[in-house]
Amino acid sequence: MKLRNMLPVAGAPLLAASIFLAAGILLAASVPGLAGPCTHAIDRMQARVDALLAARAAAGPSATEGTSATMHRQPTPESIAAAEAKLGDISTETLDAIATGMTRAREADRAGDAEACKAALAEVGRALGAPAD
């Protein structure tokens, strides 16, 4: 015996429940991710940091290949920055200021504190030698 035949009105309640369930799933899936007040500014600043590291890596002296490179590992922005600091292309203090500022900006963004986020990004901009957006 089919389930449809067991219902009083040939499957109407089941159909209605299915429609509401599908609508709920579509609605939940279409809700955009929640971004903080300066998520986009953080992303732009991170791109500037990455571009600076890439430019300095391309323009500066080269170093010998490390063991990580021979193990098929991709370099990260942090590992590139550390290598650039060893070569003297960028100071450790500058790298620390950039890392600290970006961390503070992300924490402020998660907390919804736009002013603290902007202040942290301004510090990063000064460490990069350029004003923040």
Which pLDDT tens digit goes with each residue over 86-125?
A: 666 677 788 889 899 999 999 999 999 999 999 999 999 9
Distance (Å, rounded) from C-alpha 61 to C-alpha 58? 8
3-state SS, residue 32: coil
Q: Between 85 and 9, where is the model more confident?
A: 85
40 C-beta neighbours (distance < 10 Å), count: 12
Token pair listed for 58: 């391309």
Which pLDDT tens digit goes with each residue over 36-78?
A: 889 999 999 999 988 887 787 777 666 666 676 677 677 776 7
Show the CA angle centred on residue 86, arms to residues 85 and 87, nearest 5°.
90
- Please enumerate in sequence order all residues whose Cβ is within 8 A of that of 79, keeping only pairs 6 or more positions apart, or say none: 68
Is pTM beyond 0.75? Reply is no
